[in-house]
């Protein structure tokens, strides 16, 4: 019957295309300005975030942006020390996920992998939970794990027995409206030790949890125990 009414068919097709386009714009705008989920293809944030995790990101954690731009309509705070954030790399413009270590005005130094923040050396406690190595699989390798006592935000980091030379730097002072970012896998992370401080305007949002996770070492089978896990 529709074939005998080409005008009606064209109208239905245009309406369907228009509705679909509006829905796509709405979804993309939501992901751009409100909430998003990002794949994690590298291990720079292990053991907190594993390769194959799909992390949920709150785009409204610190400000409200015009969708598809970096123009902030309103700001209601900045990242806290220890937050896991997504941001645009100052080096190449790629979107990265790292942990906030230095806030504007902080004086940061690192001595053989151990941080000193505003003159206070952080406490590091060795830990080697078997379930952690089980989650990471071959990626765990010969890594050593430590509990890093950031002020108000303790979390795990990974170090290699023979670490890379950028385990020592500073002291450096974080400029106004900038942040110092580090990966939790300290010897396998391209972070502020390489590309410098990150401007506030380039921070996209705060990662608050793992939506779901796929194990790349085992045919991308689901890691069910990581689904809906809160990030620390």
**pLDDT band at 96; cut points 50, 70, 90:** very high
Report the b/e string of 82-115 with b at 16+ CB within 10 A.
bbbbbbbbbeeeeebbbbbbbbeebebbbeebbb
Chain segment 135-167, per-residue pLDDT in tens: 888 888 889 999 999 988 899 999 988 766 678
Per-residue pLDDT at 2 exceeds 50: no
Cα end-to-end distance, the chain, whole Å:
60
118 and 225 belong to one structural domain: yes
Q: Work out the mean pLDDT of the chain and round it to a whole number.
A: 87
106 and 2 belong to one structural domain: no
Report the pLDDT value the prediction gives residue 184, as an integer from 0 to 100. 97
C-alpha torsion 16→22→25→31, nearest 10: -100
Per-residue pLDDT at 34 exceeds 70: no
Report the alpha-carbon distance of residue 183 to residue 101 in Å, rounded: 9
98 is catalytic: yes
104 and 130 belong to one structural domain: yes
Report the pLDDT value the prediction gives residue 15, as an integer from 0 to 100. 61
Question: How many domains, the chain?
Answer: 2
Section 179-194 average pLDDT: 95
45 and 159 belong to one structural domain: yes
Backbone angles phi, psi at 45, to 5 degrees: -110, 15
40 and 29 belong to one structural domain: no
Q: Could you say which of 44, 48, 189, 213 is catalytic?
A: 44
Q: Looking at residue 167, which CATH number applies to its domain?
A: 2.10.109.10
Domain that holds residue 6: 1-33
111 and 155 belong to one structural domain: yes
Residue 187 CA to its chain's centroid (Å): 17
Tokens linked to 196: 């410098």
90 and 119 belong to one structural domain: yes
210 and 126 belong to one structural domain: yes
Chain segment 62-94, per-residue pLDDT in tens: 988 887 677 878 888 899 999 999 999 999 999
26 and 110 belong to one structural domain: no
Report the alpha-carbon distance of residue 128 to residue 8 in Å, rounded: 68
pLDDT above 70 covers what percent of the chain? 86
Per-residue pLDDT at 28 exceeds 60: no
156 and 184 belong to one structural domain: yes
143 is catalytic: no
Question: DSSP label at 174?
Answer: P
Per-residue pLDDT at 10 exceeds 90: no
Q: Could you say which of 4, 48, 59, 98 is catalytic?
A: 98
Tokens linked to 206: 């705060």
Query: Strand 63-65 to strand 72-75: parallel, antiparallel, or no bridges (unpaired)?
Result: antiparallel
28 and 126 belong to one structural domain: no
2 and 73 belong to one structural domain: no
């Amino acid at each position: 019957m529709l074939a005998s009414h080409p005008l009606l068919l064209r109208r239905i097709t245009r309406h369907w295309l228009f509705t679909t386009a509006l829905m796509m714009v709405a979804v993309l705008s939501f992901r751009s300005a409100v909430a998003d989920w990002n794949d994690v293809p590298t291990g720079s944030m292990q053991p907190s975030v594993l390769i194959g995790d799909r992390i949920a990101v709150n785009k409204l954690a610190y400000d409200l942006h015009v969708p598809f731009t970096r123009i902030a309509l309103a700001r209601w705070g900045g990242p806290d020390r220890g937050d896991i954030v997504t941001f645009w790399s100052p080096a190449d413009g790629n979107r990265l996920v790292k942990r906030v270590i230095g806030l504007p005005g902080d004086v940061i130094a690192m001595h053989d992998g151990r941080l000193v923040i505003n003159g206070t050396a952080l406490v590091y406690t060795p830990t080697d939970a078997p379930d952690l190595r089980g989650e990471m699989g071959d990626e765990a390798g010969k890594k050593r794990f430590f509990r890093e006592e950031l002020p108000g935000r303790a979390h795990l980091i990974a170090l290699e027995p023979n670490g890379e030379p950028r385990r020592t730097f500073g002291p450096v002072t974080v400029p106004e409206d900038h942040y110092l970012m580090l990966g939790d896998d300290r010897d396998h992370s391209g972070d502020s030790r390489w590309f410098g401080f990150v401007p506030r305007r380039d921070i996209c949002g705060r990662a608050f949890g793992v939506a779901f996770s796929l194990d790349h070492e085992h045919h991308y089978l689901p890691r069910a125990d990581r689904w809906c896990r809160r990030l620390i």
